């Protein structure tokens, strides 16, 4: 495949830049138990890493939208104070981001995580310096899916040529959200998604490790 020419690269956070399941799964468990519900194992709760939480609460537990929104607020009680820092940056991510910056690429974050939490995580792990813009969900959960977040980032950056931007993410939600926004998506295989689901969703190309991403450009 020819080298990608896109100037703007939008990165997912959880499962793409950071291995973040410990804080997310423990906070899901906290929310369930606070509402007197039995929690699946932390391993089983990994399905919550990546997709919008409200959608996943409704899908996995059959919650109504109203109760899913309530569960998100309870989840954030633990996540925003403790859970957001219970993660690690994947090996090779910082080198990859630096190489892309050196190529003149404009890097942004497009995450379903609340924007304030995303910024704090990126600051904590010294990743903020690589990004020109960080976009996520709002405190009142107004950007309810990945498409809304991607559109917000592109509008904020004044991106009009969709052929000049590409998404990078680890789940089918990233791929589908990108497609709905009219852009392609690189699917990463080292995160929390599955290869078959990334391919089925229409990932443009797959990366086995962070360094593969830089080589694509």
14 is known as an active-site residue: no
User: Could you give the angle at the alpha carbon of 123 between the alpha carbons of 176 and 168, nearest 5°?
Assistant: 20
Q: Pick the catalytic residue: 2, 12, 140, 174?
A: 12
Determine the straight-line distance between the first and last CA of the chain, rounded to whole angstroms.
11
C-alpha span between 121 and 178 (Å, rounded): 23
Question: Is the CB of residue 176 less than 8 Å from the CB of residue 201?
Answer: yes
CA 173, 144, 213, 103 dihedral sign is positive
3-state SS, residue 69:
helix
Instruction: Report the alpha-carbon distance of residue 7 to residue 179 in Å, rounded.
Output: 18
Q: Give CA separation, 126 vs 97, 164, 168, 179, in Å.
A: 12, 27, 20, 30
- Residue 43 pairs with which residues in a beta bridge? none
Residues marked as catalytic: 12
């Amino acid at each position: 495949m020819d080298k990608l020419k896109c100037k703007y690269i939008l990165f997912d956070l959880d499962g793409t830049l950071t291995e973040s399941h410990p804080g997310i799964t423990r906070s899901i468990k906290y929310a369930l138990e606070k509402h007197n519900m039995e929690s699946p194992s932390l391993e089983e709760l990994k399905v919550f890493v990546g997709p919008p939480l409200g959608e996943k609460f409704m899908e996995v537990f059959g919650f109504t939208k109203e109760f899913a929104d309530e569960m998100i607020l309870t989840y954030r009680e633990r996540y925003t104070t403790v859970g957001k820092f219970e993660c690690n940056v994947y090996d090779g991510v910082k080198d990859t981001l630096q190489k892309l910056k050196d190529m003149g690429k404009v890097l942004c974050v497009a995450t379903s995580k609340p924007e304030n939490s995303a910024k704090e995580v990126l600051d904590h792990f010294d990743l903020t310096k690589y990004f020109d813009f960080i976009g996520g969900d709002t405190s009142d959960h107004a950007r309810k899916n990945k498409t809304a977040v991607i559109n917000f980032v592109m509008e904020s950056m004044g991106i009009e040529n969709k052929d000049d931007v590409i998404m990078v993410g680890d789940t089918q939600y990233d791929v589908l959200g990108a497609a709905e926004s009219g852009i392609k998506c690189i699917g990463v295989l080292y995160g929390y998604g599955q290869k078959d689901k990334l391919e089925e969703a229409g990932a443009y190309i797959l990366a086995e490790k962070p360094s593969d991403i830089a080589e694509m450009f």
